[in-house]
Structure 1
Amino acid sequence: MESSAYGASLAGGAFDFWSFIKQPQTIARLFSWLFSVVVFATILSEGYINESTKQDTKCMFNGSDGACSYGIAIGIIAFLACVVFIILDALFHQISNAKERKYIVSVDLVFSALWTFLWFVCFCVLASKWTKTVQIGVPADAARAVVAFSFFSTFSWGLLTVFAFRRYRQGLAEVGLGYNDPVSDHTSPYPSAYAGAPEGYQQSPFAPASAGESAYQPPAY
């Protein structure tokens, strides 16, 4: 039944911190959280350089401020999302409402798939801009770290998408375990009225009265 789907019937029990930390999904979230911090913190701290002949700062990725802004935005949102989803994962076993569980799993699946794509776009954009960078004084190690951890983030969020999809399919399977009406066979003939009668049973020998005769006959004195 849907009321017990997505593990709602198994809700409750004490929270085991170490078991929660050892879960593959939790490990993937922690790595995704760490990778996002490296990306946006590195860009904020070392991503903008100031040339000696100019007063304005430029992005270290070929002077493209849009590339740096994109990396910062994706990283900060991913950082906050990881924190929110880790909290929801920790509280998930205490939620007994199947609709709330389904909503959390669905949001997790959609967000993880979207951020996998956005991180891949971020990696492609930053890698392309870095190959065209000719500026002097660019922190090469910082730029390579941002590109590398953008790729790592694509991989970690891809794993989170797989985990969320498995949990979503498991919930759908639990919904399918509910009661289903038996399929009737319309091609078979209707059974006889005496099909279920005990062996040796015969139809009553008393014929029904005709329409023109009265069923009651007065006694003769």
Structure 2
Amino acid sequence: MLLVVLFLLQLFAIIVFGCISSQGYKYDRDEDKEVCLYNKDNNACNYGVGIGVIAFLASVAFLVGEFMFEQMSSVKTRKHYVLGDLGFSGFWAFLYFVGFCYLTNQWSNSETPEGGFGVNNLRAAITFSFFSIFTWAGCAWFAFQRFRQGTDAAFAPSYEADPGSIPGGMPYASYPVEQEGDGGYQEPPFSGNQTRGTHHIICG
């Protein structure tokens, strides 16, 4: 399930920054320069492209981290990775929320571009910014659930630990102990009594 979320993060990020980059700007003859179609606010376009590009790179990094997670033998490394995932995902969900509100507000105050140029792209960027809020929040939730599992589960090395090192576990026995049938002590097969008896028979 987490891998699906990570792939969705990449897809949504590509749509957001791709739509704005391709048709988010238009040349304005009056100002003699390209302006952002979000109410001519270039900061709005830059913000949308910026969070989209960084989100894409981060989602790729987290995807690689998921495949490498089982090979992390250090408990601290696993813990730092999960905490980094949790912190970044939660923060980026917040940034996408800000971006959604920002772009929506600027678009509502914008004039419709001539010939409807870029309208679908700009709306798609807003829509998928909204979807990205929940996908990044979902990624943070998965990281939080993994963190709650504790060091004995998520952060433990992949090889099986000695049960004696786990609180409440039973250590391995050094050698098998055979249980006696009657529970009593049996004399060695060549005890002193048997030796004296044999000596008496031979000498007698």
Q: TM-score, normalised by structure 2?
A: 0.72
Residue 27 of structure 1: SS of its match in structure 2? Answer: helix
- Unpaired segments ≥5 residues, structure 1: 1-23, 181-221
31-40 or 137-146, which deviates more:
137-146
Higher relative contact order (CA 8 A, sep 6+): 1
Deviations 1:57-107 (A, max 9, x none): 110111010111011110011000011110010010111211110010000
Which residue identity does 2:111 align to in structure 1? V
RMSD: 1.8
Q: Does residue 121 of the first structure (1) align with residue 98 of the second (2)?
A: yes
- Unpaired segments ≥5 residues, structure 2: 156-164, 169-204
Identity of aligned residues (%): 38
**Contact map agreement 1:35 1:153 (CA 8 A) in 2:** yes
Q: Find the partner of 2:55 among 78, 82, 85.
A: 78
Q: Does residue 112 of the first structure (1) align with residue 89 of the second (2)?
A: yes
**Contact map agreement 2:15 2:125 (CA 8 A) in 1:** yes
TM-superposed CA distance for 1:135, in Å, is: 4.7
Give the distance between the partners of 1:139 and 1:44, measured in 2 at CA.
10
Residue 59 of structure 2: SS of its match in structure 1? Answer: helix
User: In structure 2, what is the equivalent of residue 156 of structure 1?
Assistant: 135
Q: Does residue 140 of the first structure (1) align with residue 107 of the second (2)?
A: no
Give the distance between the partners of 1:42 and 1:117, measured in 2 at CA.
21
Deviations 1:86-140 (A, max 9, x none): 0010010111211110010000000000000000100010011111111532421
Give the distance between the partners of 1:142 and 1:135, measured in 2 at CA.
13
Post-superposition, which runs of at least 4 consecutive aligned residues in structure 1 deviate over 6 A?
A: none
Give the distance between the partners of 1:46 and 1:134, measured in 2 at CA.
15
Q: Does residue 166 of the first structure (1) align with residue 145 of the second (2)?
A: yes
Residue 35 of structure 1: SS of its match in structure 2? Answer: helix
Give the distance between the partners of 1:127 and 1:83, measured in 2 at CA.
27
**Contact map agreement 1:42 1:146 (CA 8 A) in 2:** yes
Give the distance between the partners of 1:63 and 1:120, measured in 2 at CA.
21
Distance 1:159 1:153, change over 3 A: same
Deviations 1:139-173 (A, max 9, x none): 21111100001001111101101101000111257
**Contact map agreement 1:37 1:79 (CA 8 A) in 2:** yes
Residue 26 of structure 2: SS of its match in structure 1? Answer: strand
TM-superposed CA distance for 1:39, in Å, is: 0.6
Which residue identity does 2:123 align to in structure 1? R
44-53 or 146-155, which deviates more:
44-53
51-60 or 93-102, which deviates more:
51-60
